[in-house]
Amino acid sequence: MVVATVLFLIIFKRIQQVRSPTPATSPWSVGAADHRMHAPHDQPAPLSSIPPPLSHLRAAHACQNWPGRLRGSLLPGSRPRDLEEPRPQLRRAAGARRSRYRLLGCSDVIFSPYGPLWKQLRYICFMELLRTKRIRSSASIRQEETLNLIRDISTATQPINLSEKLLRMSNAIICWAAIGARGKHQELFILVAGEVIDVLGGFYVVDTFPSLKLLHVLSGAKFKLQRIRRTLDKIFDEILKEHEVKAKMNKGRKVAEVEECIIDALLRLKDESELEVPMTMDGIKAVILDMFLGGTQASSTLIEWAMSELMRNPKIMEKAQKEVMKELKGKNRIQETDVVELNYLKSIVKETLRLHPPAPLIPRMCRNTCEVLGYEIEAGTPVLVNAWAINRDPQYWEEAESFRPESLEFGLATVHLSLAQLLLYFDWKLPDGRKPEELDMSETYGLTVTRKTELKLFATPRIPIASTV
């Protein structure tokens, strides 16, 4: 009780010391908005429609400039130079959150600061890890795992938890691509990956009062982060050790003669002397974590939202199913090459990304003092670009809140193939006789925006399922 009282008095005193921005140099202030917002990306949208469209959000000690529905100088292609640096220094962007961003030392692609290391990692990703040849070579993996998903669904006699099944399928695909096998750590990693997403994207009191060091301990975030780090180290150390043994066995052989997974490629690059910034084991772990989180969470979430929108719009689902059947011309097996001509299905995926962007709030750091919409933004100010609001702005989109694939005619191989398979092999219904408009479309708030409730559907087979890939 005494501790709680002392903390309250300290916090109250600190709030009293926070000065409001001066009207002459700062945009309209939302004020202390913590209690108003259950999901930051959707709440400021109506606020930011009030001129001026640049909001200044002050949450106790933490301040953010919020270009909600961006117009003028903040529209794509015409942003101020200082806000469009290729790599913002995210690790300094949100005070207390930087300890979470330093989960693996800020040596990954997402959170490393702009500089030689980030440039090198970006080059490695495009030229080594995500090059066209490597993506095409993993087509058989995607084919096998998506078909495994279809077979699993076909045996169900009760409504299935599609959210869980999509997560496992996406993780299996990235496991094959990254480490060359599903791996014995798959179940544990799915669990830990969920915790990483929660920690990086969740809200903690310490985010609002970063100068109160005691809150770093009392919030529990610090200890949770340390536990996650130990678990990830144990998983990655074991995997890396196995691949180091493999690398020694292949030493002296040409790269073209060796079947490399992503970890093999990173270990090979680590030993190459021509790298400007030496690659460390922690750096490899960080890049692999990026790949796992992006390949697992982002892909499964996108498919899940696409299926949710199709369940809410039966006519669109029927049209998509007819397109898939017409393209296959009676075949009961779909290949990635068949997906190329499925233009309506691709527009469904694109429309899903518009309404449900994986990252609704895009963080940026103002590296130099600049002027935005007539207001001076000081160097070091965090800026959140509200992609969610941009994608739903009626000024730029007709029927902005509606799901309209017809209005839109990118490497999303897993998403396209999985969605095509689900539409080809099954008819879908909501359990308990619910109507399409009764499907809950609520969102969570985090590093990625997922459904608040799991997507549980009843699947009825439409055609025989292929026995082999």
At 468, the pLDDT band (50, 70, 90 cuts) reads low
CA distances from 339 to 254, 289, 324, 415, 418 (A): 34, 29, 8, 10, 10
**pLDDT at position 25:** 37
Of 265, 272, 263, give the one whose Cα is nearest residue 241: 263
At 423, the pLDDT band (50, 70, 90 cuts) reads very high
Position 459 pLDDT exceeds 90: yes
Of 363, 376, 318, 279, give the one whose Cα is nearest residue 94: 363
Q: Is 390 within 8 Å of 66 (Cβ atoms)?
A: no
CA–CA distance, 323 with 337 (Å, rounded to integer): 15
More confident residue, 197 or 278: 278
**How confident is the model over 424-434, as pLDDT tens digits?**
999 999 999 99
* Radius of gyration, CA atoms only, the chain: 24
pTM of full prediction above 0.95: no
Strands (E), 102-215: 160-161
**How confident is the model over 363-377, as pLDDT tens digits?**
777 888 888 778 788
CA–CA distance, 428 with 458 (Å, rounded to integer): 6
Percent of the chain whose predicted confidence (pLDDT) is above 90:
21
Q: Is 428 within 8 Å of 311 (Cβ atoms)?
A: yes
Q: Is 334 within 8 Å of 324 (Cβ atoms)?
A: yes
At 259, the pLDDT band (50, 70, 90 cuts) reads confident
Which residue type sits at 89?
Q
**pLDDT at position 457:** 95
Parallel, antiparallel, or unpaired: how do β-strands 28-32 and 54-59 relate?
Answer: parallel
Position 50 pLDDT exceeds 50: no
At 322, the pLDDT band (50, 70, 90 cuts) reads very high
Position 128 pLDDT exceeds 90: no
Q: Which residue has the tokens 């985090």?
A: 446
Per-residue tokens: 72: 């003028």
More confident residue, 302 or 448: 302
Parallel, antiparallel, or unpaired: how do β-strands 375-377 and 370-372 relate?
Answer: antiparallel
In order of their start, the domains of the chain are 2-461 (1.10.630.10)
Among 157-171, 198-212, 224-238, the range with the most confident prediction by mean pLDDT is 157-171
The backbone torsions φ and ψ at residue 146, rounded to the nearest 5 degrees and listed phi first, read -70, -35
Among 125-139, 400-414, 450-464, the range with the most confident prediction by mean pLDDT is 450-464
Position 97 pLDDT exceeds 60: no
DSSP-assigned letter for residue 38: S
* CA triple 104-169-237, angle to 5 deg: 30
Position 11 pLDDT exceeds 50: no
Position 8 pLDDT exceeds 70: no
**pLDDT at position 256:** 56
The widest CA-to-CA distance across the chain, in whole angstroms, is: 74
**pLDDT at position 39:** 57
Of 191, 306, 180, give the one whose Cα is nearest residue 243: 180
Q: Is 357 within 8 Å of 84 (Cβ atoms)?
A: no
At 394, the pLDDT band (50, 70, 90 cuts) reads confident
More confident residue, 219 or 362: 362
CA–CA distance, 209 with 9 (Å, rounded to integer): 13
Q: What is the mean pLDDT of residues 40-58?
A: 54
